[in-house]
Structure 1
Amino acid sequence: MPDSIAELDVVAWVRIVDGRLLAVRSRGRDLLYLPGGKREPGESDGAALAREVREELGLELERASLRELGVLRAPAHDQPAFERVRMACFTADARGAMAASGEVDEFRFVAPDERDLLAPAAGAALDLAIERGLLGHG
């Protein structure tokens, strides 16, 4: 990949419930994203993901269950400073009552046939979940 491409490096939680992928809508955004976000300086992937999920959904990830699903790259959406997204995707169990908070206005579970609701990286994560056998084709 050429060095001239600005890439946003993030972590994301892939959570499948009843054959649907959990997605969130951040304030002012038109498409859905996966819960997660950018690491703070010196933060590990697991720590960043746990912090982001707590801030966005009020859930505590069970760190012992954290598993890397894969790393993907996709076009950035609604990120003027970046052309592409590099997203490290993880699965993990969680505890608590889910509620949209912080910059997240809503959460919903998206079926594979509703991929048009997803930002490109979230759509790529949906494909990754299907490829890894976590989710059936819609």
Structure 2
Amino acid sequence: MLLIDKIAWLHLREGQVLSTRSRGNDRCYFPGGKREAGETDQQTLLREIKEELTVDLDPATLEYAGTWEAPAHGHAPDVQVRMACYYARYAGALQPAAEIEEVRWLTYRHRAEVSAVDQLIFDWLRGRGLLAE
């Protein structure tokens, strides 16, 4: 089995969660990305969010939410993604950059539009009363 190691930002607003869609992709994903050699979760998250959304996360507000694992969308059946998720405050104006084509605010009814690992997180957020129907 191959494991893809990712770090993601969970940002909620009024029962909606921030999500992104990359160019040419049919699914939405939580913003974040893959760790580069030697990076910590925090370093990865700060770098990826700056690259993808042009905002700066406040490192002092980083709060671990959990880690989830599921089959990786668009990969062979033996490829899994493990995603560690964090909450954090940010400064700046959210706007798509790099490979990100669209920034979206999703509720639970959008669950079918996200990857398998994101669906697990949607269920978890809904179970905690954080994600609206």
TM-score range, shorter chain: over 0.9
**d(CA) in 1 for partners of 2:7, 2:32:** 6
Structure 2 partner of 1:53: 49
**Residue segments in structure 2 that go unaligned for 5+ positions in a row:** none
| Matching residue's letter, 2:12 | I
SS in structure 2 of the partner of residue 71 of structure 1: strand
Gaps of 5+ in 1: none
State, as a whole percentage, how many aligned pairs show the same letter.
Answer: 36
Q: Taking structure 2 as the reference length, what is the TM-score of the superposition?
A: 0.93
Q: Does 1:13 align with 2:13?
A: no
Give the Å deviation of 1:33: 0.4
What is the letter of the counterpart of residue 49 of structure 1? Answer: L
Q: TM-score under structure 1 normalisation?
A: 0.90
The AA in structure 2 aligned to 1:37 is G
User: How far, CA to CA, are the matches of 2:10 and 2:126 in structure 1?
Assistant: 11
Compute the RMSD of aligned alpha carbons.
1.6
> What is aligned with 1:71?
67
Deviations 1:48-81 (CA, angstroms, capped at 9, x unpaired): 0011010000110000000110010011002359
Q: What one-letter code is carried by the residue in structure 2 that aligns with 1:10? A: K
Q: Which residue identity does 2:46 align to in structure 1?
A: A
2:72 equivalent to 1:88? no
